[in-house]
Structure 1
């Protein structure tokens, strides 16, 4: 193969090498001190054609002439047999009997029953998932109170922290500190154990162990849940809250009327 390529005309040789991913490069002028290259001596008028062949080979190359091969009687029979096999390997659509076409319908209809069973199974799995609680809560501690508020990711964290401390300071609290934050659910996959409403209540109960004798002030905690669900989740874990306000710190910062309403509840329950 290598000898046959070397004996080809240079344009064809570069074309086939280019198809194989091999691109040749020839210096336009002899390099100083370089040995001569007697393998290929190109005439001056052929250089543009060689460069064009090396850069963009023609779409239809000129194939070298191949002498016709002589085929004996045995070779003719073998070729004829191969052609007959190739002609009969793929039957035409008109060769299929009508009876066979009618039998294909039940084969296509068979998977319908497993598909219905799998869809019912999927519905059952989704229906069996525990009810999900979505909450982001912040905790602020003072000497007598624990303020728990829903935290908004769209509002400034510093603004909400400052407002919580100002609320506690307005009712005479000192030594105010920001506690931890609680994000629920813990895992993004709803089927992972530990995301249920019972787990949320148990987590709140565990956090409430650090409250001591402090009273609880709730601001927009689980505001989207029904009253009965909030009673099951919050009262069992935190006890009776001194103030259960329906708006978060971010909402208080946006609506001044909410501040006045909260202030009235705070004065009547925890003093000022």
Structure 2
């Protein structure tokens, strides 16, 4: 059976879209049109404290204004928490997950904590805790996140595959990478899979969503290139299919910084109100 190609655009509804989002969505949309592929919009709203329905509505309006359409119904992560819990349980059963009782301050002040793509890399403080210490902390109600023992996870994934792990990059990556690339997520440290408030982390949810929706090509920004080795490890451990990756360039503002909601980048909604057209947006981001 021939599997139809599929890609997606997956915004988080915690703000309005800006031209950087438009570039990513249009890049995926244009690729889907050129390859007769499915185009999917997914709402990544596991963090209910920051997600808002009005932002979701506005984002879908902006995407439709750009000329995109997508399969229905739209998948919302908040409606699939039991799926992610099963994935987390699978990793726990493999002995790859441990509770982390550290606060942000604990991690920030750890002398041995280096910096990585996501900021300070967790130094593994709680990884070697004895069973008795962990049980005592759990019994006293100390808040904890759940982390992946990434070194053990990589080792097991490679033993399951019988060789060194790689992934396929058909974009250009941040340094021009292309082809089959080696997998080593250890520079990220042990990532959080579930936060202290129970919110499932992006890294676990995204690989499960992509598999559930039949995504064959993950098209996203170069800022997420660093996470791909971790995602590949999780795919192997959870027995999920391997997609191909295309990491595109990032859109920057007048200062040369990457556009981001937290930086207050000009939104598509504001630009629409000022009379900007979808074709203007295409020209602005350099894909016309």
Give the TM-score normalised by structure 1.
0.29
Q: Which has the higher strand share?
A: 2
Q: Which has the higher helix share?
A: 1
Give the TM-score normalised by structure 2.
0.28
